[in-house]
Structure 1
Amino acid sequence: MFLKKSLYNKKTPKMKITLILNYLIICIIGMFQGIKQGIRDKRNFFSIGLFTRQNSIILNIFLSLCLNKKFQNSKYYLYSSFILLINNLIIFFICFWETKKPHCYLLEHKIIPLMFILFYFYFNKKIINLNHSYIGLIYPFFYLAIIMLLGTYDKNYYPYKMFNDFAFFSQDHFIILRIFLSLVMILLSLWLIIILKKSTQKKT
Structure 2
Amino acid sequence: MLKNIPLNRAILYLVLLALVPIFCVFLLFLSEKNQLAEIDFTLQNIQDQAFLKEKKQAHNVAVRQHFKEADHFYIDKYLETLVFLEPEIEMLQKIVSDKNFADDERIKKRLEILTTQANSMTFSEGIVQTFPFFQETMETLVHPVEVNTTDLQKILTRVEGTECGSFTPSPNRPQLIITECKLDKKKTTDKNEVFLLNLKLLKREYL
Same fold (TM over 0.5): no
Comparing both structures, which one devotes a greater share of its residues to helix? 1
TM, length-normalised to structure 1: 0.32
